[in-house]
Structure 1
């Protein structure tokens, strides 16, 4: 989607099916799902960020489920675009995790930007934003979304409010993809069911939403093509870090 089909995956589909991990993916041979969470966002105690208690609670449940399925803490990454949610999840897992505290302490919970250029076997992405009129902030940025969605090596779980997110054309495209694969789900974790939610139609077109991404990609390519240093070495630049 982001690279118009030119990017090849480093992990093949069969490699993603980890025989020693007994995690209840809604579609067993497709290790991903979007978990519908309709809890409201709120301003964090700092007054400058957001958190979502419903999503934080479900992050802990999913992490615990991964542990029970045979996954170790170093294999799991929790990603969220908001510092308020990041620190709330860390505290919530410490006080409410049903297994040993040390297990939860070892899990990396970080911002999207902090995960740039790195990966984990399993990624849980908490989108946080869930409101009627305030918009989706960071989640609007196609470059950040690209980073957030591509950190997982074997499996990814996204928690968010599809009604709110689907107003953005890129999220609408992604949610439609998950829905078509029967991976857009709701309900308790031990009995996930396909979600029947209807999306709102985005106001902007997908092409327009991707313009911002394409423009940065082109700039980065030009930069790389011209970025030859005096000793003949090519400067290596992460296209995601170019603002």
Structure 2
């Protein structure tokens, strides 16, 4: 059920590739490296509902991986039938970020440090691929996971035109790592992010660290599904390939 090596080999077979070696691991941030989604969803809910726009907190788990502008445009299209203006996006995302920072620092995700340590030990290239522009979290990466993510191997909301589920963020991640799609692995926790990794033709592992049903991650195309980062780290450390 959790055999990463077999799942990767099946993936290569479907890509009609006989021989390949894993060279890079591309990590989402929220819900993968930090247990931050409960704060994100609350900040989004309070900001949007505070504007008199109907919403529920749980829906913002579904938008994880999209850029802030992408989330706001989705809400505006649903409510007003149009995208938000640049001024509206700047104001709303500023309010959401302010509220997010008031909620305190998100804890590192259990199992993430062990996973990153093993990636580095194996000589693989760690790459950050996040739809977030939350500078408070980005600044914490080097404090919580020192020396893991080089600045030139980070893809954030500031680097892309189209957020997840568009493959652009993961394609940029491949470019920054200097590897081909079949030489990489994506670690994601949200349907939009899983879909982005799959469309980019990368072996995509989902970790269900939130309230989203497993079936949604499977339908998004995850090649393998783990219940949390701890179980992924344990199985990854035992890999023989």
| TM-score of the aligned structures, taking structure 1 as reference length | 0.40
Higher relative contact order by CA 8 Å / sep ≥ 6: 1 or 2? 2
More strand per residue: 1
Larger radius of gyration: 1
More helix per residue: 2
| TM-score of the aligned structures, taking structure 2 as reference length | 0.40
